[in-house]
A and B are shown apart, each in its own frame.
Chain A
Amino acid sequence: MTGFDAFLTKEFTEIRRTWRLWVIPGMLVFFGITSPIIAAITPALVHSMAASQPGVVIRVPAPTAFDAYAQFLKNLDQFVLIAIVITGAGAISGERSSGTAILALTKPLSRGAFVVAKILSQTMLLVTATALGTVVCLAVTAVMFDGANGARLVSTVAVWLLYAALLLVVMTLFSAGLRSRGAAAGAGLGFYFLALLLANWGPLARYSFFGLLPAMGNALMGKPLSLGWPLVTAVVAMAFGTVAAIRVFERQEL
């Protein structure tokens, strides 16, 4: 892992100085603030829509903290995961196409260190941003709703975070293996939608990391979870994905 420290420091500095600081963290904080607000105003919105159509009566129960958390989780699933796909697509392919990888890798920086620094820095950004967004969501929900059970949101977000970290590793692998950022993003979106489909197949959901997706909803609803296989397979897949990304990148000519 020659050159790891120097390259990791570069990655953190790059996050601090560029748009990377704002995209994922910005989204998470934004959703942390807006999810409880949207949950609170949804009944009013539905009523106003129903009022414009004669004869239509819609009964919407009063919003709760659960609705705020569900809205936050939905935003994480729909928007933040796709943002991870889009931004992760350029992790390595972007450095390759801009020529920055060539200058760095002709110095004593191993390709393994390059890949691991990318994954580690992005994972740390994701964890920090998720923690921040979750705290914001908990705080806004606590202000707007009574009886909020924050522990459920925290456990749900922890499951989501594991899946998001796995997706990040998958994107790094695609970014290492595919020549262009667009191709990596396309492959990533394919993986994202395929995972949504496969997560609905019971046996696969029970014994693989695809089970993390339905587990999020169950965790939020307080249902008992059986996360053994999904957790273990997710960690194994992350390790395998990291090693595969390194091997793929090592074999490439720049």
Chain B
Amino acid sequence: MTQVRSDEPAAVELRGLTKRFGDTLALDGVDLVVRPGVVFGFLGRNGAGKTTAIRILSGLARPTAGTAHVLGHDVTHASDVVRSRIGFLPDVPGFYPWMTAREYLAFAGKLFGIDAATVDDRATALLEMAGLASVDTRIGGFSRGMKQRLGIAQALINAPSLLMLDEPTSALDPIGRREVLEMVASLRGRTTVFFSTHILADVERVCDAVAILERGRVVASAGVAELTDRATANRLVVEVEDDGAASTVARSLAGRAWLKSIETAGRSVRVAVSDLAAAQREIPAAIGEAGVALRRFEIEEASLEDVFVELVGGQEAR
């Protein structure tokens, strides 16, 4: 794989991408830019529209409206060019059960027009990476995890400029998942990895940037650190002497202009705010006025999960 140059076009660029299935709006004017060379997490609940977007990007489906560009090419008009430069793994990869893993890689390489010697070399390296080098059985006998690892290997056979993975770790055991994530992380800077997932821990572990998709719309798109910093800047935790005092504090803060939400859990009060400086000034004063002893008062480090739950407000995030 070649090093990514800074003057390269965006790996993925979606503008007003809309996809409708009958009355159902799967994608609702999605705007998204993925810079080359990053590991990009496309995060969302099941049914948020992630797979639909990836199907459009890989040429398997057409948008109802809007545009989708991959590596500078419109996917609806330059599908051959796009397909020759991407690697793709669907959520449930389908292989010919009568082939061996090496035979499938040879078949995939031949479809890309790669010469046999190069395919053979790459297949050896990729099978090693996928932990399938010593497996001679036909794919029909593979476990789901083995198929997933082979799926990633076949997606890399053409040394793609953009690797698109749809829920690549969802079927894997913890060890297989770690191996896949390590492999994904190792590609950083050499190729762009665009992977969809609903597993927040995977995104936190390997992604440079993330977009959160909810009901067909991108509700946030930024670097992972930037996104968590943004949420961190809006969250405070207060700890007082007992449960009753926590309730007193919550009541005394109610109605403040900067207050977005407040919740108590035992002696702790978690406060989401719109103006951190004002909250930092007024909360200790309010606690003092209420005659409550303060034990701890600090900015809470937000995780991606906090960001996700705040933006999506759902119950399915892990």
A residues in contact (CB < 8 Å) with B: 2-3, 5-7, 9-10, 14, 17-18, 98-110, 253-254
Contact = CB atoms under 8 A, between A and B. Distances in A.
A108 B81 CA distance: 8
Contacts of A3: 111
A100 B97 CA distance: 10
Interface residues of B, number: 27
A243 to B, nearest CB: 19
B40 to A, nearest CB: 18
Nearest to B19: A253
A105 B93 CA distance: 12
A103 B94 contact: yes
A93 to B, nearest CB: 13
A253 B55 contact: yes
Contact of A99 (B62, B93, B111, B154): B93
The 5 A-B pairs of least Cβ separation, nearest first, read: A99-B94, A6-B110, A253-B61, A106-B88, A107-B111
Interface in B82-119: 83-84, 86, 88, 90, 92-96, 98, 107-108, 110-113
Given A14-B98, A106-B83, A107-B108, A99 B113 contact: no
Nearest to B157: A107
A253 B111 contact: no
Question: Which of B92, B111, B154 is packed against the most chain A CB atoms within 10 Å?
Answer: B111
Contact of A100 (B55, B83, B88, B95): B95
A106 B94 contact: no
Given A99-B93, A253-B55, A108 B60 contact: no
B59 interface: yes
Given A3-B111, A254-B60, A106 B98 contact: no
Interface string B32-65: 0000000000000000000000010011111000
